[in-house]
Amino acid sequence: MLYITFGVILLVAVEGVFVANENYVGCFVHRINDQWALKFFSQNFTKMAPYLCLPNCQVMEQKFFGITKNQCFCGNELHSIEVPRYRCNQRCSGKQETRCGGLNVMSVYKVTGVTIPLVPAPSKGCFFWSPTERVLHKEVKKNFQVMNQKECASSCFKIYRKLFGLANGNRCYCGNQIINGNPMAKRFCNQQCQNAQYGQKCGGPLAIEIFDLVPTES
């Protein structure tokens, strides 16, 4: 059984949560020339069933997942052609009554219950910040074209942190606890977010606003 944890939220790969028939898209050619039907290979399973592959693709925020024998794939687009469903005749090793692809074919399903961070997020307050005065443990080193709550929260969500923070209009931090929490008045966290819609605030030159990461379904 596969467990993926986020904070105190536990997403469990439970057989009864996913109804295979209702979310089945079809049987597709697994590979045409050098292109897979779904872009991302997730992992090999010793025992395979649709409900085991699903959580991997939820975390990756993909729309589809596909199974061929004991391999799990994820993607937002299908780069393949559909074939008759009887071609997907491989019994799933972890759930014999379902099918897990076949010879160069893949059983494809819709991803259900994709979990994303809630935005706008609940604020924990404004705190003193400087580039050398860390308030949250990890800075996200990424070339953000736009900075706002959504961009920063998504980055921290992917590495399973409980908090995210915005500073100086363009800097994003993640953590599970506030390290050096010297509170400041809310007015110091009033800097416009870089290239974002007017009115979106991302801390200040000497301040970081910290938010709770709250999972929600898209």
**Distance separating alpha carbons of residues 68 and 44, to the nearest angstrom:** 10
Between 111 and 121, residue with greater pLDDT? 121
What is the 3 state secondary structure string of 93-140? CCEEEEECCECCEEEEEECCCCEEECCCCCEEEEEECECCECCCCEEC
Question: Is pLDDT above 70 for 106?
Answer: yes
Categorize the per-residue pLDDT at 203 as very low, low, confident or very high, splitting at 50, 70 and 90. Answer: very high
Q: Give the pLDDT score at 49.
A: 87
pLDDT tens sequence across 49-94: 888 888 888 878 889 999 999 999 999 999 999 999 999 999 998 8
pLDDT tens sequence across 112-169: 776 678 899 999 999 999 999 889 999 999 899 999 999 999 999 888 789 999 999 9
Q: Give the pLDDT score at 56.
A: 83
Going through the chain in order, the beta strands assigned E by DSSP cover 3-6, 9-12, 24-29, 31-32, 35-36, 40-44, 64-68, 71-75, 82-83, 91-92, 95-99, 105-110, 115-117, 123-128, 138-139, 163-167, 171-175, 183-184, 207-212, 215-217
